[in-house]
Amino acid sequence: MGLVYCLIGVTDGSTYLRDETLKPVLEKICEIAAAAHSISMACVAFMRSDSTIAAYAGVPPERRGETLQLLRGIVERNAPQIQTRPHYFAGEPVHDDSGNVIGAVCLLDDAPRPDLQERSPAALALIARYAALVSANDALTGRFRLFAAAAEQAGDAIYFSEHRGTDRDPVIVYANSTFERMTGYRRRDVLGKSVLKTLYREAEAATISAIRGAIKMTSPIALETAMRRPDGSMFVADVTFSPVFDEDGNCTHWISVRRDVTGMRKSTQHRIETANRERSEAQEALAYLSFHDVLTGLPNRSLVLARIAEDLGASAHGALLLFNLDRFRTVNDSFGRESGDAVLAEMSNRLLRCTPDRSIVARGDGDTFMMWIDRIETAAVKSLAGDLLREIERPIDIEHHSISLRASAGIAIATSERYGRPEEVIRDADVAMHHAKSLGGRRFTIFRDEIHGFALTRLRAESALQRAIDRGEFVNHYQPIVDLRTGQILALEALARWSDPERGIVPPGFFIPLAEQSGQVVAIGQRVLERACEDAVRCRLIAKHAGLRLNVNVSARQLSDEGFAARVFGVLNASRLPARALCLEVTETAVLEDFETAVASLGTLHSAGVRIAMDDFGTGYSSLANLRLLPFTSLKIDRQFISGNAEAEDIVDADIVQMIVSLGRARGLPVVAEGIETAMQAERARTFGCAEAQGYFFGRPVPIEDIRSLLASGTLNAALL
């Protein structure tokens, strides 16, 4: 534990109980670990259900995704891993006090390093323990913020010291601002120093003896003593020195409170009055913290509930607007928690500036805000909600980057006749907000009874989808992509199908939108990729098809994950499918969800040989700009320009198709026509210059067994030649 405090002190000289981020501490652990082993790279990561926190030392940015994937493997296996050839890698899982795996640490080197074979296990286990201690402390940071906020306002000097045993002096690990003003010592000068040798070095022998006795017996003590400041001035203080015990009854820390009583000796009554006043101020501070958010200073959920109950009782109607920032987690993951907190503070200021009369703005959980307005009509609420959503979307600068956040909002129109409890108002606004998110976000929805039914239906559908994932009910169907000049099958596009035991094959239009909204598309997409690569390897063994390519669609959720590229490489290595045989199809909409992360992942994959196709080309609003920035190797014309929604023999938008082909030719990108359903459309696409095509004319998506038979027979080729 001492090392943890030491590392914290190294970062910027501040104490752990202040609002510090976890990442600098983890980076310091990585640096020390790498230096101690004379090794080039180290990494530690905590993997939570909603986010991943990773720190690196010496690991270049382009290798971090791969390194993070190696750590995920250690977490999944919950077992250490060591290899010394051809490159050195040693990893160890990190466990919390309950034995649950919460992350992993690793050491890496481009050299074999057989000299570390014996040292690695014990060293990694020690590093993992330090990381777990930091994580455990980080989990308490929220509570420490509240304590620190209250302690900084206290009129008494307060400091914490770490217990080192009954025969050793405690070491100071925290002091509040009053400590500096009262004692004359700067906090950074006393952190990590002995209590007795630093603060009591000129105290009376009886005082030192009493404190040593308390330490030996781990019992509290209260005394009055004369103290000397560094400048030589004296003051008299009432001092309490109390032990803190852990769950097992072991003393871990000491809390000391000092009150300057130099001027209070003149009047006992004055001391009583001062004590009563400070007690009252402390009670007021605690009452404030009970009803306000520490970060933004806004009222919290408890105060909103009280206000709703009061207003409904008096005026009989009002409205609650509940806002949630869409994909706010990306801000935390990309820029860190400190920047995320700054964004939340700015959003609270924007909402306050738009607050109408008779209203209250509050912060809920995480990235959720609430606004309760008394005596407002529905039309006015709608207008206000639209204005607030536009205000939230105004760009905000974060670390020299201008970003625009979006939000979804739910509105509950409240009357005393409809709602008996204020909690029900917040519940319905929350349901309406999630309904707005399910419709794509960036909008507001007013609660209606049928929305509640929709929410229950959606929950059941998500549960059914998760059961299908767990039971392995998703299968791959494949549609051929052909060479328009020769009729040869060049590639297969893998398409997910849900094989429900009761309903049979479920159309993708039913489950894909739901999976994308719920995030379950990530698990489905991973399984599609794994199965498709295995099937492609077997198909490439069929005569004349050794160069067969595989196309796989990628969702926005997958592209937003920094570990996506590493997972693709893992699948390619496991299946032994060459990288050049894989083509990932991405839509412009998916890329724009998290542009920087998508560009980085696709760039890494492309540099390794993986092909990247822009799917549904022509339907985005900035396709031309993104053609320059993204490593596309082909364009796929959206089917709406080929066959449209109606039955047509010829291509429905020939001018657009020719324009896209010309653009692809100018950029050196082959063009694939999707949705070919007639011989005339196939011929016209070939005449326009499309290199490849797919659609029902060449074959519908079918199971792998049918595709293998088709490849072996060569029937499709013969029909087109």
pLDDT of residue 215: 92
Least trusted range by pLDDT, from 110-119, 221-230, 240-249: 110-119
* Per-residue confidence (pLDDT) for residue 538, from 0 to 100: 94
Task: Write down the pLDDT at residue 663.
Answer: 86
d(CA 317, CA 309): 10
Q: Out of 180-184, 283-287, 608-612, give the one with best mean pLDDT.
A: 608-612
Percent of the chain whose pLDDT exceeds 90: 26
Sheet holding 368-374, edge to edge: 359-363, 368-374, 317-326, 406-415, 444-446
Strand partners, 411: 321, 446
Do 108 and 89 form a contact (C-beta atoms < 8 A)? yes
Whether the per-residue pLDDT at 87 is higher than 90: the answer is no
Cα–Cα distance, 259 to 690 (Å, whole number): 84
Overall residue count recorded for the chain in this entry:
721
CA separation for the pair 105, 120 (Å, rounded): 12
Helix (H), strand (E) counts: the chain: 27, 27
Tokens linked to 376: 């407002």
CA 505, 510, 514, 515 dihedral sign is positive
- Mean pLDDT, range 602-606, rounded to an integer: 93
What is the pLDDT at residue 237?
A: 87
Of the candidates 424, 317, 407, 330, the residue with the CA atom closest to the CA atom of residue 369: 407
Q: Is 446 helix (H, G, I), strand (E, B) or coil?
A: strand
Residue 390 CA to residue 388 CA, distance in Å, equals 5
Distance CA 421, CA 677 (A): 59
Instruction: Name which of 79-93, 185-199, 209-223, 326-340 the model is least confident about.
Output: 326-340
Q: What does DSSP assign to residue 53? A: E
Closest by Cα among 361, 360, 410, 357 to 385: 410
C-alpha–C-alpha distance, residues 682 and 639, integer Å? 13
Output phi, psi for 188, to 5 deg.
-65, -20
Looking at the predicted structure, is the pLDDT value of residue 200 above 50?
A: yes
DSSP assigned state of 194: B
Strands (E), 292-400: 317-326, 359-363, 368-374, 396-398
Q: 664: which residues sit within 8 A by CB, 6+ positions away?
A: 634, 635, 670, 671
Pairing relationship of beta strands 221-228 and 234-245 according to DSSP bridges = antiparallel
Q: 664, 635 in Cβ contact below 8 A? A: yes
- Comparing CA positions, the residue from 513, 514, 560 lying closest to residue 329 is 560
The mean pLDDT value for 409-438 works out to 87
* Phi then psi dihedrals of residue 543, to 5 deg: -50, 135
Q: How far apart are CA 669 and CA 638, in angstroms?
A: 16
Amino acid at 459: L
Cα–Cα distance for residue pair 191/718, rounded to 1 Å:
82
Longest dimension (CA), the chain: 111
Range with the lowest mean pLDDT among 7-16, 364-373, 646-655? 7-16
First to last CA, the chain: 75
The chain-wide mean pLDDT, for the chain, equals 82
Higher pLDDT residue, 598 or 285?
Answer: 598
Question: Cα-flanking dihedrals φ and ψ of residue 155, to 5°?
Answer: -85, -10
pLDDT band (50, 70, 90) for residue 135:
low
| Sign, CA torsion 652/656/660/666 | positive
Residue 671 has pLDDT above 80, yes or no: yes
Q: Given pLDDT bands bounded at 50, 70 and 90, which one contains residue 14?
A: very low
Say if residues 292 and 303 touch (Cβ distance below 8 Å).
yes
Q: How confident is the model at residue 672, as a pLDDT?
A: 94
Q: Got the DSSP string for 186-248?
A: -HHHHTTSBHHHHHSTTS-HHHHHHHHHHHHHT--EEEEEEEE-TTS-EEEEEEEEEEEE-TT
Give the C-alpha separation, 571 to 62, whole Å.
18
pLDDT (tens digit, 9 = 90+) per residue, 322-374?
999 987 877 776 677 888 888 999 999 999 988 888 889 999 888 999 999 98
C-alpha 168/C-alpha 174 separation (Å) is 18
The side-by-side arrangement of strands in the sheet containing 88-95 is 52-57, 41-47, 101-109, 88-95, 81-83
Tokens standing for residue 229 = 């400041």
On whether the CB atoms of residues 9 and 192 are closer than 8 A, the answer is yes
Phi, psi of 503 (to 5 degrees): -100, -5
- The predicted-structure confidence for 28-68, as pLDDT tens digits, reads as follows 778 877 777 778 899 998 887 667 888 898 999 999 989 99
Amino acid 270: pLDDT: 59
What tokens appear for 684 in the block?
Answer: 């016209």
Of 431, 467, 469, the residue nearest 448 (C-alpha): 431
Spacing of C-alpha 258 from chain mean position: 42
Residue with tokens 């050196």: 668
**What is the distance between the alpha carbons of residues 267 and 235, in angstroms, rounded to a whole number?**
16
323 to each of 87, 389, 419, how far by Cα in Å? 50, 9, 21
Dihedral class, residue 533 (left if φ above 0, else alpha if ψ from -120 to 50, else beta): alpha
Question: Phi/psi at 117 (nearest 5 deg)?
Answer: -55, -45
Residue 111 token pair: 């050299």
Dihedral of CA atoms 571, 577, 580, 583 in degrees, nearest 10, equals -60
Residue 651: closest CA among 615, 697, 614:
697
Of 455 and 656, the one with more pLDDT = 656
Give the mean pLDDT of 556-577. Answer: 91
Within 19-119, residue ranges assigned H as helices are 23-36, 61-77
Highest mean pLDDT among 12-26, 57-71, 305-319: 57-71
Separation of alpha carbons 300 and 589, rounded Å = 36
DSSP string, 220-231: -EEEEEEEE-TT
Nearby residues of 174 by Cβ (< 8 Å), 6 or more positions away:
15, 16, 17, 159, 160, 191
